[in-house]
Amino acid sequence: MEHSAARYHRLQLALSVLALVLGAGWLLAMTLTAVARLVAELAMTVTDRLWWAVLVVSAATSIGHTVLTAPLTIARSYWLPRRYGLLHQRLAAWAFDRLKAAALGGLVGLIVIEVIYAVMARTPAWWIFAAAFVATVSLLGAVVFPVWIVPLFYTLTPLRDAALAERLEKLARRAGVPVLGVWLVDQSRKSRTLNAAVAGFGRTRRIILFDTLLERLGPDEVESVLAHELGHHAHHDMWRMVVIQTALGFATFWVADQLLRATAGPIGLRNLADPAGVPWFALVIGALGLVGIPLVNWHSRAVERRADDFALSVTGDAGAFISAMERLAEQNLAERHPPRWKETLLSSHPSVDRRIGRARRRVASAPRASESE
């Protein structure tokens, strides 16, 4: 099993890197071969409105990128998970989900790029407004995620096991995290993977469980998994991540502003808000985003370790936590022994074995009842 997981993740990484290279190559080709300029000028024959040219160039950029990377997307997100037994969704259903995700992501992305270019055309301080707007959109997405977005891909129903629902809601109260009920999603219709979440903020916060989690884990193990998720909310990790992402966003857009100003002339852009620069803008922002990933992941791993400690403290059941981690690793085909460089650069969570080892050390270092009396 471990060998299969390692091979699966190696293939996933190879496909992801290849898709990244092809995507970057497409953006670079659109910029350097003047394809983007041609598309922008054709758009301007209809109307000279900036928003229209940005829309047309953005659509051409996105469609070209999607077509170019489609074989890799299918291999990475459909064929490979099916080959390794993680996914059993039919191709048509999978494609429909991808279409919905692409439509939603495309709409949000288009709104963001339109706002950025509109501000870019009006003020040299565009990067400040762009970073603030992106942060606002991200926060709004987190708020509406359990209410509007999850139902687009899953059927949510209240948990019918009243005893378990009461137990989990009581756990949430002990953790100091008010929730609006426990909901079940039909993950088994698509995949064998296990997961749980406490999604939303304030009035939209609710417990979400995969039905596969209840099929594979006992109540104590489910409670341990949920306790970890509650730990994030008890520690206000979501807000801390918002602050970090916002700070990185401002830094990213400031650096992007410097790079775009330095390169606009050499690559033939008339000004910073030239719609022919949309592919170049996307490439610059994407490259800067990649640079920030290790820092975000370093913080994320620290947050995940603290949430594990919270779960052990609030449940007092290290055995259930460890057995839940073992089952999650098996069902989700987790890479238990990733190379250190890979975990450091690419992983948002510590490896399963590190999490289990930390839990065992915590138990071993805890004073025994007879010693504490």
pLDDT of residue 337: 86
C-alpha 168 chain-centroid distance: 25
What is the pLDDT, as a whole number, of residue 202? 77
Asked whether residue 345 is domain-assigned, the answer is yes
CA dihedral (79, 85, 86, 92) positive or negative? positive
Which entry of 114, 166, 169, 229 is annotated as an active-site residue? 229
Q: What percent of the chain has pLDDT over 90?
A: 90
pLDDT at 2 over 70: no
Complete DSSP assignment for 67-136: HHHHHHHHIIIIIHHHHTTSB---HHHHHHHHHHHHHHHHHHHHHHHHHHHHHHTT-TTHHHHHHHHHHH
Q: Which domain holds residue 285?
A: 2-368
Task: Say if strands 182-185 and 206-210 run parallel, antiparallel, or are unpaired.
Answer: parallel
Establish if 282 belongs to a structural domain: yes
For the segment 306-340, what is each residue's pLDDT rounded down to a tens digit?
999 999 999 999 999 999 999 999 999 999 989 99
Is 50 inside any structural domain?
yes
Domain assignment of residue 192, yes or no: yes
373 assigned to some structural domain: no
- Tens digit of each residue's pLDDT (9 = 90 or more) over 331-343: 999 999 899 999 9
The amino acid present at 161, given as its one-letter code, is D
Looking at the domain assignment, is residue 175 inside a domain? yes
pLDDT digits (tens, 9 = 90+) for 188-224: 999 999 999 999 887 789 999 999 999 999 999 999 9
Helix 162-174 and helix 219-234: axis angle, to 10°? 30
Is-catalytic flag, 215?
A: no
What value does the mean pLDDT take over residues 41-62? 97
User: Rounded to two decimals, what is the model's pTM?
Assistant: 0.91
Tell me the percentage of the chain whose pLDDT exceeds 70: 97
181 in any annotated domain: yes
For the cut 70, the answer to whether the pLDDT of residue 272 exceeds it is yes
pLDDT category of residue 373 using cuts at 50, 70 and 90: very low
What does the pLDDT read at residue 147?
A: 84
DSSP 183-252: EEE-GGGTB----EEEESSGGG-EEEEEHHHHHHS-HHHHHHHHHHHHHHHHTTHHHHHHHHHHHHHHHH
By CB neighbour count within 10 A (0-12 exposed, 13-18 middle, 19+ buried), where does 212 fall? buried
What is the reported pLDDT for 368?
55
For the cut 60, the answer to whether the pLDDT of residue 296 exceeds it is yes
The structural domain count of the chain equals 1
In a domain, 127, yes or no: yes
pLDDT for position 178: 93
Q: 322-339 b/e with 16+ CB inside 10 Å = b? A: bbbbebbbbbbbbbbebe
- Given a cut of 50, whether residue 371 has pLDDT beyond it is no
Beta strand pairing status for 196-199 and 182-185? unpaired
